[in-house]
């Protein structure tokens, strides 16, 4: 069964450093998403991406965040200058239609 994959599974970085989280969506999917989940809290939407551009973003997704689909398979989330409060699980999701979103296993980001 096709699945969304994410790398790395755990990323530790120092405050102020740039991080790139990588995702490989399901191959025939057209919509891509990033969500985050702070430990013990609900899943929060960050951004959706369709047709090579951002289609929707939340208040969390400020200028420190960017997304890119550098080739036909990868979808990345970049945080330019990490803050302590960016520590969370980051989930990538993809869908063939906008509603049925399939989530990856997540990347745990720890900012020290």
Q: Which residues bind other proteins (CB under 8 A)?
A: 4, 31, 33, 35, 41-45, 48, 50, 55-56, 58, 91, 93, 98-106
CB of 63 to other proteins, least distance (A): 19
**Cβ distance to other proteins smaller for residue 19 or 35:** 35
Residue 51 falls in which region: left (phi positive, over 0), alpha (psi -120 to 50) or beta: left
Report the distance separating Cα 42 and Cα 31, nearest Å: 22
Secondary structure E strands in the chain: 5-7, 10-13, 19-24, 31-37, 43-50, 53-57, 65-68, 75-79, 88-95, 102-103, 107-111
Report the distance separating Cα 111 and Cα 29, nearest Å: 31
**Cβ distance to other proteins smaller for residue 64 or 108:** 108
**Cβ distance to other proteins smaller for residue 19 or 31:** 31
CB of 29 to other proteins, least distance (A): 13
**Cβ distance to other proteins smaller for residue 22 or 103:** 103
């Amino acid at each position: 069964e096709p699945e969304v994959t994410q790398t790395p599974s755990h990323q530790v970085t120092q405050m102020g450093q740039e991080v790139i989280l990588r995702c490989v969506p399901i191959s025939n999917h057209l919509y891509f998403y990033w969500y985050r989940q702070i430990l013990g809290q609900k899943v929060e939407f960050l951004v959706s991406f369709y047709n090579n551009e951002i289609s929707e973003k939340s208040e969390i997704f400020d200028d420190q965040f960017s997304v890119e689909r550098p080739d036909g398979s990868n979808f990345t989330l970049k945080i330019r200058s990490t803050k302590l409060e960016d520590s969370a699980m980051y989930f990538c999701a993809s869908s063939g239609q906008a509603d049925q979103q399939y989530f990856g296993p997540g990347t745990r980001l720890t900012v020290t």
